[in-house]
């Protein structure tokens, strides 16, 4: 999943208290924390969420992307946006997420997400990591 925001406005913001990766009127958030990971010899802290709906559980990893920088910090992504607008270099920002069903334990689910990052084109959304 990737949500890209070029021109933000009221009700159309990347960082908004109503932006969720799943419908929280249906899905229950069981866990929400930050987790350091490494992919392609680069380290980043991602947001890790575990959600449940009708007995189905999903493990979600997400992060924000702005031009050539990646972070899980909402504050940093907002600051980068303002700095880009002021300098005339703002090119938009995105929230990126990958998810997998939690069918065989959390460690197995984490391994699937790690493998997806390590072996796919998803790495192109974070070529330069800035914490």
Contact present, 80 and 86 (Cβ < 8 Å): no
82-128 pLDDT, tens digit each: 888 899 887 888 888 899 999 999 999 999 999 988 876 654 554 44
pLDDT at 128: 43
Mean pLDDT calculated for residue range 42-63: 91
d(CA 100, CA 67): 27
Question: Could you give the CA distance from residue 98 to residue 117 in angstroms, rounded to a whole number?
Answer: 9
Cα separation, 55 vs 38, in Å, equals 30
């Amino acid at each position: 999943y990737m949500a890209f925001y070029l021109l933000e406005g009221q009700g159309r913001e990347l960082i908004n208290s109503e932006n969720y990766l799943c419908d929280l009127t249906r899905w229950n958030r069981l866990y929400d924390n930050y987790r350091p990971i490494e992919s392609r010899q680069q380290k980043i802290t991602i947001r890790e969420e575990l959600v449940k709906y009708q007995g189905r559980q999903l493990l979600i990893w997400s992060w924000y992307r702005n031009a050539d920088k990646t972070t899980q910090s909402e504050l940093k992504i907002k600051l980068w946006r303002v700095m880009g607008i002021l300098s005339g270099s703002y090119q938009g920002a995105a929230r990126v997420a990958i998810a997998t069903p939690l069918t065989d334990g959390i460690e197995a689910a984490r391994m699937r997400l790690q493998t997806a990052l390590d072996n796919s084109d998803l790495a192109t959304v974070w070529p330069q990591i800035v914490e």
